[in-house]
Copies of this chain bind each other. A is one copy, B any other.
Amino acid sequence: MDSLQNLKNKVLSYTKVDEKPLDYWLSFYEKIELKKGEALVSAGQVVIHFYYLDVGCIYYYKMQDGGTKVLEFYTEDVFFTDLPSYVKGAPSKYFLRATEDTIVYAIKKTYTEKSYDESHQLERFGRLSMQEAFIKSYSRVERMNNRTNEERYLRLLEKRPGLLQRVPQYLIASYLGLTPVGLSKIRKRLMKV
């Protein structure tokens, strides 16, 4: 059962879940190891797993106008998937790709649904983790409208130290809604101060 302990602790940080249903649910997880540059999900696939990132880094992006548009970076100790595809069972429009050697644990939707059916506590965990994800996403919407790109870049440096060391700058630029040239200009401006 390997390093599911991290995952187990993560669940328990949201709400109390009894040992039995939690271990039952955890028993369905499978370990996936990705090499740097490898894709976990590609556009066109139907996503039927929910993932937990244990070690490494994965970026969530789409291809648009011939370029990659990054939506998110997932690093240690987070849950993620392509939710639109996972929920609707429709082909994904996105990619999930490792920026470095990465270990994730994956569980099939059917097993999670079964576990939620059988455990009210696990269902609550599901609700609370979604709630947290929604609040984070919404605060990002707010910042995108009301902060300058420079402020958002500085905040990223502060909130996710080390990310710029792990991930190429042009992906950071895309995440911030900028071109590589635009981000480079901002960095230059900040140097001078």
Q: Measuring CB to CB, which residues of chain A are less than 8 angstroms from any residue of chain B?
A: 62, 64, 69, 71, 83-84, 87, 116, 120, 123-124, 126-127, 130-131, 133-135, 137-142, 144-146, 174-177
Contact = CB atoms under 8 A, between A and B. Distances in A.
Contact of A134 (B69, B120, B124, B133): B133
B83 A146 contact: no
Given A64-B146, A71-B141, A123-B127, A135 B84 contact: yes
Given A69-B142, A83-B134, A87-B135, 11 more contacts: A62-B146, A64-B146, A83-B131, A83-B135, A84-B139, A116-B124, A123-B124, A127-B127, A133-B134, A145-B175, A145-B176
- Count identical subunits in the complex: 2
Interface of A: prevailing SS = helix
Given A84-B135, A127-B123, A144 B145 contact: yes
Contact of A144 (B123, B139, B177): B177
Contacts of A141: 71, 137, 140-141, 144
Given A145-B69, A145-B144, A138 B137 contact: yes
A27 to B, nearest CB: 22
Contacts of A64: 146
A137 B144 CA distance: 12
A137 B138 CA distance: 6
A152 B133 CA distance: 24
Contacts of A131: 83, 87, 130
A159 to B, nearest CB: 16
B69 A138 contact: no
